[in-house]
């Protein structure tokens, strides 16, 4: 008679423990955003005094000083970062999905070799090819341009690998073959049948690719020279090192706050598709 009560007590305790752990993790994740917003509302002197749980009164002052800073073109930096990140996410997800569809849906002689070659490229760090990439862009006259920041994302081995694994688990080959029998051409099949099935995978990789391009500092720092072409990570570093001894910490925190808002907005917009990605095998079911 006591066994059901004991089991119910154990389940309640386990659930309470899970909620406690999740609450702690949630607090740790949100605390740093809260700390960022608090420091964005304080001046340099207040920030140097240490952290405070109460916001300051310099939020609008920091924002006005940042926008009035002639050496830091914030608005153009936001546009450049969003333009590059959005195009990078769109090109990487679409063409990687298209490549994965080609590897998945077709049988050809060098299929395994092509897949292995793409995975081999995935293992190569960006720093290894950076010098050759910069020299090539200089030779093409694209050194001080935004084009080299998003156009190479057409070939994204990591995104391709994720798309290929998703197709293997969620896309029955019978659906593609049925579309071919009905007279559908390959691009129509991909755009109207395969892509809707891949929405969760596209959303996940769009977020990761967007955030990666948004936070990218290494490649833009090598290619961009003009102030009106620089992205937000470069401007943040430039604001931080403009005057090392007496830089405005309020402006730095305000700049970082502005930089994370689009990332949060993109995540909230695509988060519903991420939840759907939990059931990878739903199509087969």
Mean pLDDT by 10 residues, the chain (285 residues): 63 83 88 88 84 84 86 89 94 93 87 87 80 88 90 90 87 87 87 88 88 90 89 86 67 88 83 60 41
CA distance 36 to 59: 12
Contact indicator for 12, 20 with CB cutoff of 8 Å: no
Question: Which sequence spans correspond to the domains of the chain?
Answer: 2-59, 65-276
For residue 82, give every residue at least 6 positions away whose Cβ sits within 8 Å of its Cβ, in sequence order, or none.
214, 262
| Degrees, nearest 5: CA angle 274-166-219 | 75
Contact indicator for 88, 220 with CB cutoff of 8 Å: no
What integer pLDDT is reported at residue 111 of this predicted model? 86
pTM of the model: 0.82
Contact indicator for 244, 30 with CB cutoff of 8 Å: no
Domain over 65-276 is classified CATH 3.30.2130.10: no
């Amino acid at each position: 008679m006591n066994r059901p009560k004991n089991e119910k007590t154990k389940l309640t305790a386990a659930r309470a423990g899970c909620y406690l752990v999740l609450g702690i993790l949630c607090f740790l994740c949100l605390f740093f955003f809260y700390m960022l917003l608090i420091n964005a509302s304080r001046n340099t002197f207040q920030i140097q005094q240490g952290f405070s749980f109460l916001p300051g009164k310099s939020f609008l002052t920091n924002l006005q000083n940042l926008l009035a800073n002639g050496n830091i073109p914030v608005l153009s930096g936001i546009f450049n970062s969003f333009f590059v990140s959005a195009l990078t996410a769109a090109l990487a997800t679409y063409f990687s999905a298209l490549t994965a569809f080609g590897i998945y849906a077709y049988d050809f002689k060098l299929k395994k070799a092509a897949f292995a070659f793409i995975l081999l490229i995935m293992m190569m760090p960006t720093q290894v090819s950076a010098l050759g990439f910069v020299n090539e862009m200089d030779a093409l006259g694209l050194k001080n341009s935004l084009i080299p920041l998003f156009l190479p994302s057409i070939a994204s081995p990591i995104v391709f690998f994720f798309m290929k694994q998703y197709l293997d688990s969620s896309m029955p080959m019978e659906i593609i073959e049925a579309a071919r029998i009905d007279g559908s051409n390959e691009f129509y099949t991909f755009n109207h049948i395969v892509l809707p099935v891949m929405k969760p995978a596209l959303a996940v990789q769009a977020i990761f690719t967007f955030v990666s391009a948004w936070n990218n500092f290494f490649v833009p720092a090598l290619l961009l020279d003009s102030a009106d072409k620089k992205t937000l990570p470069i401007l943040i570093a430039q604001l931080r090192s403009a005057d090392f001894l007496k830089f405005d910490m309020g402006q730095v925190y305000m700049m970082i706050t502005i930089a994370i808002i689009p990332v949060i907005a993109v995540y909230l917009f695509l988060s519903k598709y991420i939840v759907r990605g939990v059931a990878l095998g739903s199509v087969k079911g």
